[in-house]
A and B are shown apart, each in its own frame.
Chain A
């Protein structure tokens, strides 16, 4: 039986708080942790089916044009040059395969063919040296080189910001720039495809199996039922594995042609060429306020880029319409069609760079008005969503600001440039954190066996986030079982289709489906106990109702199972759903060399119910670390002439190292959001990023008086603003 729920209204009954097992929310270690640290968790490229051969992608060495001829590859088994091969990755939740036809080159490094050989080294050598004839074309690769498009759905305005700026007591009008960012997940993209008649099984590194299956079936021209995807363990995604990419499609095509299993693993350089980048952004922010710091005008004009054939537009100003109040407002998203690698979702698309830059602008406004940055934000929090007048499903920004200020010792902050220790100038900064919340349709099946073991099955993925653990905790809580009696099976399209991992919606979406499946099982147990489900208490394998207590094994004949099916509903529209928080940083800036060292950093977050304090905290630590990266170190450089990715390995693309990251402090505000399903839990993974970099940059300014508006704030840019 399937228990279905569309989230059309609030859910105030806090049922999970009244379960008896007491395991949900506990800071449990990740269930698959031991498998990972002992190497037993097999990632995509770690299977070795009999007879397997290796494929390596051939990449275009020109930025645009047509492939006229692909030469031979001596020593290789085959050169696969097939119309179905894709030019770039699918976007998250696409229902179709990405653009195929590799002969049309859209960017330098695009996959155009696959060389297959008995060994990886042979294939790589052949792929690197194969002769390709091109008809080349000259194309723009710099966002400023073209007249941008203005997609109608990405613009919004109310009132007149120009006028608000003229009339204001205080204004800020500045331009910021952020570079392309890469997900840079540890596990490179890889796939192994194996056919059995018309059926193909592909082990791959993917985040969202149910939509990936549709994309892949479409790309290959086969029926969905004939395709099984397996991604039991994924070594990080950060957006880069939301959609299928060239390696998995090529592996499937090659495996069919050769009649042997084929592995295609990208090299690190290929990951940087072929995975989506976050578009670079140019953001003009205009703020107008009265002398009390009350905002009257907000303008956020954004220029991003993408390939001409890709629809994705980095939603930079996504949170701008509802974060602060102002009568006059304008959001512009312009897109430059240029030939750098395809842009797509990378770690909190939109807010990661949009909130970060906006919160830097708010700091400038605080300075200009002379109002404390925390107070300035508090004065501008809206009661309902501006422009739509929708209520918020919950609103915790004010509390996160006040609580953060107290915990961080904000009152000890000094005016800019006044704390000096030897060569180091010390400063504090803060920023608001905000991220839209999403719920995505999701299904799960839970089976309870007579021996008191439960099995959770869904094609949900665990990309290192802790999904195995939280879904296990949920089932254990709902069914009254100790953790060791719950087994969680993920990452297989033979299981019910889930939301997948992306946009921070995975835990809540798939969690709700497990919750519903467990409710269904509870109803069946209640029937056996002749009681109402709400009167049933399940704990340690016992069912209790009134005076009756019976072991579950007495109540189950063989096994019982239930499916849960969650769908987002009316609350998506009726309420503005978001997660909230605040970021705090103390940095030291070297007055000679402009090097920045983050000394301490803290985040306060409200994300509804916390399902596991440890995995939740880890998500925030990762997000805050990426915030440091956005502020100080990360930049994908593109060659100005052909747009190619220049920083193509982890030595040159600078993710923060341990030495860049101090001990990070994370606090959660207790919250139950009634409008996001019975779990009352919201997304969290990305919230830790949104605004974190602004706290660092604002602290840099407080330390040394320098504003860097062209991110990242590397030593050269800071030094440019420092005195001798």
Chain B
């Protein structure tokens, strides 16, 4: 770990553009020990008034400092947005969720092992250095939206559910703004070191959920062990049915891209259709048309296909998962 200056923010106005925010520290501290991140100035925001889950319009406003455990257990979340609660509980471990915050979770870095290993070339850590993952061990890498410069995934679960819920990220800073989660994380292109739209000096203050979408909520996470492992692939689904037809379909996918993935064509196909295996297969086909693997992680293509079909069968009552 490199030496750093520690500051405790008393107000958002205190945040300087050269300071790095620390919240729960569950990701940042690991990265600092490995010197993958070496911020000269750390500003601790945990004393700011950014907690709390409050009504906002017909929806909810979730403070950036709300802990993952508290959010997952919140009665309104459990009742009206169960996909979010399930996604949170599918992530990390009890101890980590007790520390992890909503803002930190959105900002967590990839789990590409080459990113964590300073002996290895990595465009994300060191722009222009190359990508050691390509040609290496790529079990947790991306099949959608990646580039030859970087094939890393955004590894989190919470954001996948938020994406299916059409959440909006509230940002404070020199020019406060609201950014739909769909636009918050960025695909790598040739700038994989730029991961979100957040600018220096900006801070996430909250995540805003629109009115409860109703319908069936599912979060299905396929991983290498039953708990405490990142997703190989995951599916967040909010599915409404009326008169035997799908009336509402919001589907987001995790573990497959540098951002929680969503495909309007898939949802357009499902909407208004009768649930059937043929329909679900077609949906998977559309979803995976642009998919490609750079190595071992090609297995994610059939795995995501199957996970999507199973989730849809479950959410439409064709088969129970339990």
Distance A9 CA – B116 CA, assembled complex (angstroms)? 57
For residue A203, CB closer than 8 A to chain B, the reply is no
Residue of B nearest to A716 (CB): B299
Q: Would A646 and B319 count as touching, CB distance under 8 A?
A: no
Residue of A nearest to B310 (CB): A592
Within 8 A of A (CB), among B210-244: 220, 222-230, 232
Q: Would B137 and A646 count as touching, CB distance under 8 A?
A: yes
Distance A590 CA – B321 CA, assembled complex (angstroms)? 9
Q: Would B232 and A715 count as touching, CB distance under 8 A?
A: yes
Q: Would B1 and A632 count as touching, CB distance under 8 A?
A: no
Q: Would B137 and A423 count as touching, CB distance under 8 A?
A: no
Residue of A nearest to B296 (CB): A716
Q: Which residues of A contact B265 (CB under 8 A)?
A: none
Contact with B along A582-594 (1 / 0, CB 8 A): 0000000010111
In addition to A592-B310, A719-B302, 6 A-B residue pairs with Cβ atoms within 8 Å of each other are A61-B119, A423-B321, A593-B307, A646-B113, A659-B225, A660-B225
Min CB distance A471 to B, Å, is 35
Q: Would A716 and B303 count as touching, CB distance under 8 A?
A: yes
What are 26 A-to-B residue pairs whose CB atoms are below 8 Å?
A108-B119, A125-B1, A125-B2, A125-B35, A590-B310, A592-B309, A593-B303, A593-B307, A593-B310, A595-B222, A595-B226, A639-B136, A640-B136, A644-B117, A646-B136, A648-B113, A652-B111, A654-B224, A654-B225, A657-B226, A659-B225, A660-B227, A715-B223, A716-B299, A716-B303, A720-B302
Q: Which residues of A contact B136 (CB under 8 A)?
A: 639-641, 646
Interface of A toward B, CB cutoff 8 Å: 61, 108, 121, 124-125, 128-129, 267, 269, 422-423, 590, 592-595, 597, 632-633, 637-641, 644, 646-648, 651-652, 654, 656-660, 714-716, 719-720, 724
Of B1, B137, B223, B281, most A-chain CB atoms within 10 Å: B137
Q: Which residues of B contact A108 (CB under 8 A)?
A: 119
Q: Is the interface of B mostly helix, strand, loop or mixed?
A: loop
Min CB distance B103 to A, Å, is 21
Of A128, A648, A659, A715, most B-chain CB atoms within 10 Å: A715
Q: Would B229 and A654 count as touching, CB distance under 8 A?
A: yes
Q: Would A128 and B310 count as touching, CB distance under 8 A?
A: no
For residue B306, CB closer than 8 A to chain A, the reply is yes
Contact with A along B298-322 (1 / 0, CB 8 A): 0110110011011000100001111
Q: Would A716 and B1 count as touching, CB distance under 8 A?
A: no
Q: Which residues of A contact B310 (CB under 8 A)?
A: 423, 590, 592-593
Q: Would A593 and B35 count as touching, CB distance under 8 A?
A: no
Distance A594 CA – B302 CA, assembled complex (angstroms)? 11
Distance A597 CA – B232 CA, assembled complex (angstroms)? 16
Q: Which residues of B contact A657 (CB under 8 A)?
A: 225-228
| In-complex Cβ contact of B306 among A125, A639, A719 (8 A) | A719
Interface of B toward A, CB cutoff 8 Å: 1-3, 33-35, 111, 113, 116-119, 135-137, 139, 220, 222-230, 232, 281, 299-300, 302-303, 306-307, 309-310, 314, 319-322
Min CB distance B222 to A, Å, is 5
Q: Which residues of B contact A646 (CB under 8 A)?
A: 113, 136-137
Q: Would A639 and B232 count as touching, CB distance under 8 A?
A: no
Q: Which residues of A contact B135 (CB under 8 A)?
A: 640-641
Residue of B nearest to A267 (CB): B33
Q: Would A422 and B232 count as touching, CB distance under 8 A?
A: no
Distance A724 CA – B303 CA, assembled complex (angstroms)? 11
Q: Which residues of A contact B33 (CB under 8 A)?
A: 124, 267
Distance A644 CA – B1 CA, assembled complex (angstroms)? 22
| In-complex Cβ contact of A719 among B220, B224, B227, B303 (8 A) | B303
Q: Which residues of B contact A651 (CB under 8 A)?
A: 111, 228-230
Of A124, A592, A720, most B-chain CB atoms within 10 Å: A592
Q: Would A128 and B226 count as touching, CB distance under 8 A?
A: no
Q: Which residues of B contact A423 (CB under 8 A)?
A: 310, 314, 319-321
Q: Which residues of B contact A715 (CB under 8 A)?
A: 222-224, 232, 303
Q: Which residues of B contact A632 (CB under 8 A)?
A: 225
Min CB distance A518 to B, Å, is 45
Q: Would A592 and B306 count as touching, CB distance under 8 A?
A: yes
| In-complex Cβ contact of B225 among A638, A656, A724 (8 A) | A656
Residue of B nearest to A421 (CB): B322
Q: Which residues of A contact B35 (CB under 8 A)?
A: 125, 128-129
| In-complex Cβ contact of B119 among A125, A592, A633, A644 (8 A) | A644
Min CB distance A5 to B, Å, is 46
Q: Would A659 and B319 count as touching, CB distance under 8 A?
A: no
Min CB distance A503 to B, Å, is 28
| In-complex Cβ contact of B137 among A637, A658, A660, A716 (8 A) | A637
Q: Which residues of A contact B34 (CB under 8 A)?
A: 128, 269
Q: Which residues of B contact A637 (CB under 8 A)?
A: 137, 139
Q: Would A592 and B307 count as touching, CB distance under 8 A?
A: yes
Distance A724 CA – B220 CA, assembled complex (angstroms)? 18
Distance A660 CA – B321 CA, assembled complex (angstroms)? 18
Q: Which 10 pairs across A and B sit closest by C-beta, in order of nearness?
A: A592-B310, A716-B299, A659-B227, A659-B226, A61-B119, A637-B137, A646-B137, A657-B227, A593-B222, A660-B226
Min CB distance A421 to B, Å, is 9
Q: Which residues of B contact A422 (CB under 8 A)?
A: 319-322
Q: Would A593 and B226 count as touching, CB distance under 8 A?
A: no
Residue of B nearest to A593 (CB): B222
Q: Which residues of A contact B232 (CB under 8 A)?
A: 715-716
Min CB distance B262 to A, Å, is 20
Distance A244 CA – B220 CA, assembled complex (angstroms)? 45
Q: Which residues of B contact A267 (CB under 8 A)?
A: 33
Min CB distance B109 to A, Å, is 13
Residue of B nearest to A650 (CB): B228
Distance A590 CA – B227 CA, assembled complex (angstroms)? 16
Min CB distance B172 to A, Å, is 32
Q: Which residues of A contact B2 (CB under 8 A)?
A: 125
Residue of B nearest to A660 (CB): B226
Q: Which residues of B contact A639 (CB under 8 A)?
A: 136-137
Min CB distance B153 to A, Å, is 14
Distance A647 CA – B118 CA, assembled complex (angstroms)? 14
Q: Which residues of A contact B309 (CB under 8 A)?
A: 592
Min CB distance B174 to A, Å, is 33
Q: Would B224 and A633 count as touching, CB distance under 8 A?
A: yes
Q: Which residues of B contact A647 (CB under 8 A)?
A: 113
Residue of A nearest to B220 (CB): A593
Min CB distance A706 to B, Å, is 14
Residue of A nearest to B307 (CB): A593
Distance A125 CA – B35 CA, assembled complex (angstroms)? 8
Min CB distance A662 to B, Å, is 10
Distance A591 CA – B225 CA, assembled complex (angstroms)? 16
Q: Which residues of B contact A659 (CB under 8 A)?
A: 225-228
Q: Which residues of A contact B314 (CB under 8 A)?
A: 423
Q: Would B1 and A121 count as touching, CB distance under 8 A?
A: yes
Distance A68 CA – B251 CA, assembled complex (angstroms)? 56
Of A61, A632, A714, most B-chain CB atoms within 10 Å: A714
Distance A659 CA – B228 CA, assembled complex (angstroms)? 9
Q: Would A597 and B226 count as touching, CB distance under 8 A?
A: yes
Distance A597 CA – B222 CA, assembled complex (angstroms)? 12
Q: Which residues of B contact A716 (CB under 8 A)?
A: 232, 299-300, 303
Q: Which residues of B contact A593 (CB under 8 A)?
A: 220, 222, 303, 306-307, 310
Min CB distance A565 to B, Å, is 46
Distance A714 CA – B140 CA, assembled complex (angstroms)? 13
